[in-house]
């Protein structure tokens, strides 16, 4: 086997540690936070008048009608990402990559209480949580040499990534029609990536890699908000926020073992020497690389048509950062009360990728998948409490380049479904 063959084979492998190992940094709306807000598709920056307002637009909690309110949301979310036709079998058939993610967790808890002239809020939010797994086993994968295909190929991925926000909010009314508010969230991100793969070639060579990475980010996310009600039934909301990472710990460990001699290859940006047959390669390193996030701004409009009917819409802009393109997302929501005890909400939202469209001929491009979502929920009210059951569905199609240094482009698909159950009280 000559060097070029080896290179091809290894290139085939290294997408296992693709150019971004982050769970999903390509999108901003990975999970829709909140109770009523979720039902409205996240179009909440002009409404915002309950505990989930702390997250969307803290100025809104000044309008919270009750003395005190609390809300908690539990979410069961599943997501499936499919990269089409990544591998070619010996018989010409194509094989997809499938990654599944699911998580069950409290997604939001917040309380709002009247303090003096304003409202004080305290909230906890999980804007992103994934536990992605891939367990696939392939047979007879074609290589450039017909006489030495990959006989068996095993891949295991077990990634988990959670973002947490926790902190106080304060809002007050400056006049009957104007309120301002601020939230100071403490930000914490906990990521763990475990990936391993084994390849067995027909002529006896094998290749094994284990990749382990942990990353912890600590920072702050201040949110400033303003709500103006030019009319009794119309509200305009504006909120601005930015995640600022103050401290980062990243630790990476790679282990390879291969029985192929000669050549170099790139794995995760590092060049490794494979001239030593039958060797075990081990590398462990600690890094401190703080990720930069762009600022975001949301402009929302809410129309309280009647006590039973509400329409709301948001436009959210995320600025550009060195490896992120700017994004504009949209959300539309409506709420209808069938009676005092039963309300229905429906929301549409976009979750566009913060990456460029993939162009032909280039290599190592980030995946670009635009997601569209639909949310619907029912809320039952009873005196001091209410419960909400909701479902959220998101679907997106796009393209990805899964193979390092290859110009091949794969179609990619994301499908998210989540169910949420939440409760709110006034007291």
**Interface pattern 19-58 for other proteins (x via CB under 8 A):** ------------------------------x---------
- Note whether 232 binds other proteins by CB under 8 A: yes
- Where does this chain touch other proteins (CB under 8 A) — which range of 132-140, 153-161, 256-264, 338-346? 338-346
Q: Which two tokens stand for residue 39?
A: 């039902």
Stretch of residues binding other proteins (CB under 8 A), selected from 151-159, 203-211, 340-348, 401-409? 340-348
Closer to other proteins by Cβ: residue 65 or 204:
65
Shorter beta-carbon distance to other proteins: residue 23 or 424: 424
Residue 317 binding other proteins, by CB under 8 A: no
At its nearest, how many Å lie between other proteins and the CB of residue 339?
A: 8
Q: Which is nearer to other proteins, 115 or 384 (CB)?
A: 384
Residue 211 phi/psi, 5-degree rounding, is -130, 130
Q: Which of residues 61-90 bind other proteins (CB under 8 A)?
A: 63, 65-68, 70-72, 74
Q: From CA 265, how far away is CA 272, in angstroms rounded?
A: 6
Using alpha carbons, list the distances in angstroms from residue 35 to 16, 106, 338.
37, 11, 18
Among 7-15, 193-201, 353-361, 370-378, which window interacts with other proteins (CB under 8 A)?
370-378
Is residue 229 near other proteins by the rule CB under 8 A?
yes
- The total of other beta-carbon atoms located within 10 Å of residue 46's CB is 29
Binding other proteins by CB under 8 A: which of 332, 358, 378, 417? 332
Q: Kindly state the smallest distance separating residue 62's Cβ from other proteins, in Å.
A: 11
Residues in Cβ contact with 327 at an 8 Å cutoff, skipping those fewer than 6 apart: 28, 317, 318, 352, 353, 354
Q: Which of 101, 99, 53 is nearest to 312 (CA)?
A: 53
- Applying CB under 8 A, among 188, 311, 317, 419 the residue interacting with other proteins is 311
175 contributes a contact to other proteins by CB under 8 A: no
For residue 425, state whether it binds other proteins (rule: CB under 8 A): yes
212 is an interface residue for other proteins by CB under 8 A: no
Helix or strand holding residue 410 (H, E): strand 410-426
Nearer to other proteins, 272 or 425 (CB): 425
Q: Is 116 in the site for other proteins (CB under 8 A)?
A: no
Interaction of residue 337 with other proteins, rule CB under 8 A: yes
Min dist CB 116 to other proteins, Å, is 17
CB of 129 to other proteins, least distance (A): 18
Contact 96, 86 (CB under 8 A): yes
According to CB under 8 A, which residues from 381 to 420 bind other proteins? 381-387, 393
By CB under 8 A, is residue 338 in contact with other proteins? yes
Residue 251 vs 426, nearer CB to other proteins: 426
Distance in Å, CB of 309 to other proteins, minimum: 6
CB-nearer residue toward other proteins: 123 or 252:
123
Q: Is position 315 an interface residue for other proteins (rule: CB under 8 A)?
A: no
- Per DSSP, the three-state class of 56 is helix
Q: Are 108 and 424 in contact (CB under 8 A)?
A: no
Query: Is 112 an interacting residue with respect to other proteins (CB under 8 A)?
Result: no
Of 226 and 235, which CB lies nearer to other proteins in the complex structure? 235
Which chain residues interact with other proteins by CB under 8 A? Answer: 49, 63, 65-68, 70-72, 74, 229, 231-233, 235, 303-311, 332, 334-341, 343, 346, 348, 372, 374, 376, 379-387, 393, 421-425, 427
């Amino acid at each position: 086997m000559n060097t070029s063959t080896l290179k091809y084979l290894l290139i085939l492998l290294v997408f296992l540690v693709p150019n971004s190992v982050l769970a999903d940094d390509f999108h901003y709306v990975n999970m829709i936070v909140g109770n009523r807000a979720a039902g409205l598709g996240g179009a909440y920056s002009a409404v915002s008048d309950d505990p989930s307002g702390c997250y969307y637009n803290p100025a809104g909690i000044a309008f919270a009608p009750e003395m005190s309110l609390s809300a908690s949301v539990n979410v069961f979310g599943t997501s499936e990402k499919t990269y089409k036709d990544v591998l070619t079998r010996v018989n010409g058939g194509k094989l997809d990559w499938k990654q599944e993610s699911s998580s069950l967790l409290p997604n939001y808890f917040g309380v709002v209480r009247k303090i003096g002239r304003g409202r004080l809020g305290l909230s906890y939010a999980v804007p992103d949580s994934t536990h992605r797994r891939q367990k696939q086993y392939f047979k007879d994968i074609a290589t450039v040499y017909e006489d030495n295909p990959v006989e068996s190929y095993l891949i295991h991925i077990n990634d988990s990534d959670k973002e947490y926000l926790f902190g106080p909010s304060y809002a007050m009314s400056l006049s009957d029609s104007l309120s301002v508010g601020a939230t100071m969230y403490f930000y914490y991100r906990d990521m763990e990536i475990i990936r391993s793969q084994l390849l067995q070639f027909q002529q006896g060579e094998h290749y094994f890699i284990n990749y382990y990475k942990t990353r912890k980010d600590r920072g702050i996310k201040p949110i400033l908000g303003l709500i103006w009600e030019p009319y009794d039934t119309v509200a305009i909301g504006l909120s601005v926020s930015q995640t600022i990472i103050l401290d980062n710990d990243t630790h990476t460990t790679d282990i390879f073992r291969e029985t192929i001699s000669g050549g170099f290859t790139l794995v995760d940006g590092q060049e490794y020497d494979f001239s030593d047959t039958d060797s075990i390669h081990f590398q462990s390193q600690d890094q401190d690389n703080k990720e930069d996030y762009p600022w975001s701004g949301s402009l929302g409009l809410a129309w309280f048509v009647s006590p039973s009917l509400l329409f709301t819409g948001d436009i959210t802009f995320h600025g550009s950062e060195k490896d992120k393109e700017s994004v504009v997302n949209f959300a539309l929501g409506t709420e209808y009360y069938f009676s005092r005890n039963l309300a229905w909400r429906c929301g549409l939202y976009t979750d566009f990728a913060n990456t460029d469209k993939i162009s032909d001929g280039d290599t190592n491009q980030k995946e670009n998948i635009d997601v569209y979502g639909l949310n619907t929920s029912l809320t039952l009210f009873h005196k001091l409490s209410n419960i909400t059951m909701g479902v959220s569905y998101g679907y997106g199609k796009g393209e990805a380049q899964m193979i390092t240094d290859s110009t091949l482009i794969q179609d990619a698909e994301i499908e998210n479904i989540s169910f949420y159950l939440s409760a709110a009280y006034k007291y």
